[in-house]
Structure 1
Amino acid sequence: MKRIFIVLLSIVILSCNQKKEEKNKEPEATENKEPIPVEPDGGIGDGALSISKHFTKTIEKAHKKDKFLNHKAVSFYVNIIFNGKEHLDGKVTMLTNSSKIRIDKKDESKLIYDGENVYLCPADANDKGARFDMFTWTYFFGLPYKLSDPGAKLELQDDRMLNNTKHSTAKLTFEAGTGDAPDDWYIIYADPVAKSLQAAAYIVTFGSDGDTSKAEADPHAIHYKEFTTVDDIPFATKWEFYGWTSEKGMTDKLGEATITDITFLEKEGELFDDPENSKIIN
């Protein structure tokens, strides 16, 4: 009995000493702990792409931008019908970075952009809409590769319907002094699965002298169709043009274009040299 009492007394003493030690133990300081870092913009911070850049990158990946730019130049034939009339029929040749362009028309006249000036050849050829033709159709062709160009700004927008399917959209605008028409804008439609560029609403402000009200009142849209692959790179071989409003999307059909014989070139040679018997188009 005496032994049991001694054992119990020892347990009580050990327990008291343990509680005393816990009581005397200083608590860990918490006020100086570094806060857990949280990335801004909903998790898109340093080391991660912004949402708009991710939108751009997925389109560029779908259209094999790196592979496209690995080629020196590309050529294709284009036939454009607008408002029931043939607007352009000819062969377009352009460097893949769009820095030089040549259009050989069916009527044997030529438009050449050498990186600085636009030349019309022969000098007495019809120059109506020449500069517009020089840059507009090549921009539509190269649009999937232009979204991250210097001066381009992309802002994500709400999804919009196209072919009864919701598409991700973003508005493309330009910094002042970018290109021939920095007041233009585009609404880019990206396929929800393939992420490829399927359509773009746009305004044409070229020649407006800063008054964009007419263009803003009459937006158009291009719908890319009938994709084919050349060197594993997808290209739309049918373009359809429509009226467009923000509320309704595409409305009346205005025209169409057919793209054929897409060919890559690895040397530019003298294709973009200033031609004889030509004049500069401003």
Structure 2
Amino acid sequence: MKEILYILSAVAMISCTQYDSKQQTTDNPSTVVELSATQRIEAAHSKTAFLSNEIVQFDIVLEFGGTERLNGSMILATNSSKGKIVYKDGRELYYDEDLVYADTSFNNHGSARFAAYTWSYFFLFPYKLSDPGTNWSDEEQTTLNGETYNSQKLTFGEGVGDAPDDWYITYSDTETHLMEVAAYIVTAGGSTIEEAEEDPHAISYHDYKDVDGVALAHSWKFWEWRKDSGLTRQLGKARLSGLKFMTEDEFDFSALEGMVKIK
């Protein structure tokens, strides 16, 4: 399923000004610093250019198990500090750091909090690899569904995020270093690590396009995943459209009056 991804010339030019795909020079031209595996992924995704913008907005239609889970717009701070989901039916979710607000039509507060953080995290994931509290294994080359990738395992420090026991295994292209697949477990909702590891999933990123010098995936697929057999049964999909960058002056991130704080 692996796609050979080529970034448009604008992306390549910007990425090269931030990082070389394999090395970075310091102020001393004779000194060469080897980039880490995560830095190569960040460079491929033009992290510096992405973070130079304040807000990213896009429409998303997401299905899981044949059921539409999300149809609306997502407006996210590029530094992941806050975000809002505006559903087509008028419902809204809003998060600001560790606080989540929802309008009163959300009966299941647990699923609302999950939605507020999960879908935004999948979108922002390539830009959060160096967040405080992230712990990475050594990079290795591995095979997934017949294709070779660079792979690493991500775990989190104690107390990091809503579900610090979650882990991810990333699969990036060996040449472009773009993120292609991330396997993961979900412990949110009270599952133990052992229970979550009995049913690991994965997200695969597709249809990368240049948006103002940044490579952004325009479609996702969700899978059952096993370390030995790889991606097995497809569980869901998402289509992203209308991706654009904005400034904070163009959007009001505040919670609507009457929204309920979700714990």
Q: Normalised by the size of structure 1, how large is the TM-score?
A: 0.78
1:149/1:268 CA distance change after superposition, 3 Å: farther
The Cα shift of 1:49 comes to: 6.2
1:175/1:268 CA distance change after superposition, 3 Å: farther
Give secondary structure in 2 for the equivalent of 1:225. strand
Indicate conservation of the 8 Å contact 2:135/2:154, yes or no. Answer: yes
Which protein has the bigger strand share? 2
**1:227 pairs with one of 184, 191, 208:** 208
The Cα shift of 1:116 comes to: 4.3
Indicate conservation of the 8 Å contact 1:77/1:259, yes or no. Answer: yes
Mapped partners of 2:89, 2:119: distance in 1: 18
1:116/1:205 CA distance change after superposition, 3 Å: closer
- Structure 2 residue 237 is the aligned partner of structure 1 residue 256: yes
Equivalent pairs counted in the alignment come to 232
Unpaired runs of at least 5, structure 1: 1-46
- Structure 2 residue 64 is the aligned partner of structure 1 residue 79: no
Mapped partners of 1:72, 1:236: distance in 2: 19
The Cα shift of 1:126 comes to: 3.4
Q: Find the counterpart in structure 1 of residue 150 from structure 2.
A: 168
Indicate conservation of the 8 Å contact 1:72/1:268, yes or no. Answer: no
Mapped partners of 1:110, 1:268: distance in 2: 20
Q: Find the counterpart in structure 2 of residue 195 from structure 1.
A: 177
Mapped partners of 2:246, 2:101: distance in 1: 22
Mapped partners of 1:272, 1:100: distance in 2: 8
Q: Deviations over 1:160-216 (max 9, x none)?
A: 22453210100011000111111110001010110111110000111216x222211
Percent of residue pairs identical: 40
The RMSD of aligned alpha carbons is 1.8
Q: Normalised by the size of structure 2, how large is the TM-score?
A: 0.83
Indicate conservation of the 8 Å contact 2:64/2:236, yes or no. Answer: yes
Q: Find the counterpart in structure 2 of residue 127 from structure 1.
A: 108
Mapped partners of 2:190, 2:142: distance in 1: 29
Indicate conservation of the 8 Å contact 2:106/2:112, yes or no. Answer: no
Query: AA paired with 1:262?
Result: L
Indicate conservation of the 8 Å contact 2:206/2:220, yes or no. Answer: yes
Indicate conservation of the 8 Å contact 2:37/2:139, yes or no. Answer: no
Indicate conservation of the 8 Å contact 2:210/2:216, yes or no. Answer: yes
Q: Find the counterpart in structure 2 of residue 15 from structure 1.
A: none
Q: Find the counterpart in structure 2 of residue 243 from structure 1.
A: 224
Query: AA paired with 1:74?
Result: V
Q: Find the counterpart in structure 1 of residue 247 from structure 2.
A: 266
1:205/1:116 CA distance change after superposition, 3 Å: closer
Give secondary structure in 1 for the equivalent of 2:248. coil
